[in-house]
Amino acid sequence: MSIQIQSLTKQYGIQKALDGISFEVRPGEIVGFLGPNGAGKSTTMKIATGYLPATSGTVLVAGFDVAKEPMAARANVGYLPEHNPLYVDMYVKEFLEFVGGLFGMKGNLLKTRIADMIEACGLELEQNKKIGQLSKGYRQRVGLAQALIHNPAVLILDEPTTGLDPNQLADIRALIKTVGQQKTVLFSTHIMQEVEAICHRAVIIHRGRIVANETIENLKKNGQTLEEIFQNLTK
């Protein structure tokens, strides 16, 4: 499995943000991670990428334990946080060169990866602009490019389409679907149509617990829309 989460718990004082959750994401699978605000989505993703320690439980990324082998795990994961932190005074190409360098890339390999990411993420016309000059949609593309620059096996995206207009939504969805043909993708969203359009499976979390983990087809077998199922499960 590319992502294995077992009995994961995160506790703040007496409050459990995550209460012993377990699920897996297989290679080449796109999984939508759904839940209302405060359900535990971002906490799970931050633990899986090494930004937060777990209280208990284990997370394996590409076979590496995030707590015991953090550098190896991080080398295999690309991460786009919810608020997409970018250096807005840097030029797009300059920023990707900087991020690639952090992963130890240099020379022709780095140049090739930058060119590939600029093409894959549709940044050809924006590559020589400062990030601060870009629209939110293009900033999200830059965020995806930096998450992919080191060619990770696993891609973790936290609310990657929040605040985008319909055209930008369609572009980013198409990009995620294309990337998902070769990588394992876990992404959180509030948009049910997004999950139906590009995901193989949905994992629904509520109050720190998994309440559903099914293929989209199985979830919809009773004739309900995914939005209706989500509302019923999270009441």
Judge whether 199 and 35 are in contact, CB under 8 Å: no
How many Å apart are CA 14 and CA 46, to the nearest integer?
Answer: 20
pTM of the shown model: 0.90
CA quadruple 110, 116, 83, 234: dihedral sign? negative
Q: Give the amino acid at 169.
A: L
How many Å apart are CA 45 and CA 133, to the nearest integer?
Answer: 29
Extract the tokens encoding 147.
């998450």
Q: For helices 136-148 and 166-179, give the axis angle rounded to 10 degrees.
A: 10
pLDDT of residue 234: 67
pLDDT of residue 1: 61
The torsion of the CA quartet 36, 234, 41, 47, rounded to 10 degrees, works out to 150
Residues for the chain: how many in total?
A: 235
How many Å apart are CA 44 and CA 47, to the nearest integer?
Answer: 5
How many Å apart are CA 75 and CA 64, to the nearest integer?
Answer: 10
**Strand 201-206 to 209-215 pairing:** antiparallel
Closest CA to 17 of 34, 42, 48: 42
Other CB atoms closer than 10 Å to residue 12's CB: what's the count? 9
Q: For 49-164, where are the alpha helices, taking DSSP H only?
A: 70-75, 92-102, 107-120, 136-148
Domain spanning 3-76+153-233, CATH architecture: 3-Layer(aba) Sandwich (3.40)
User: pLDDT truncated to tens, each residue of the chain (235 aa)?
Assistant: 689 999 999 999 888 999 999 999 998 899 999 988 888 999 999 999 999 999 999 999 999 999 999 999 999 999 999 888 899 999 999 999 999 999 999 999 999 999 999 998 889 999 999 999 999 889 989 999 999 999 999 999 998 887 777 877 788 888 888 888 888 999 998 777 788 888 989 999 999 999 889 888 887 776 667 777 777 766 6
Extract the tokens encoding 197.
């359009």
Task: Give the C-alpha distances (Å, rounded to integers) separating 57 from 6, 19, 54, 77, 175.
Answer: 6, 10, 7, 19, 33
In the chain, where the domains are located = 3-76+153-233, 88-151
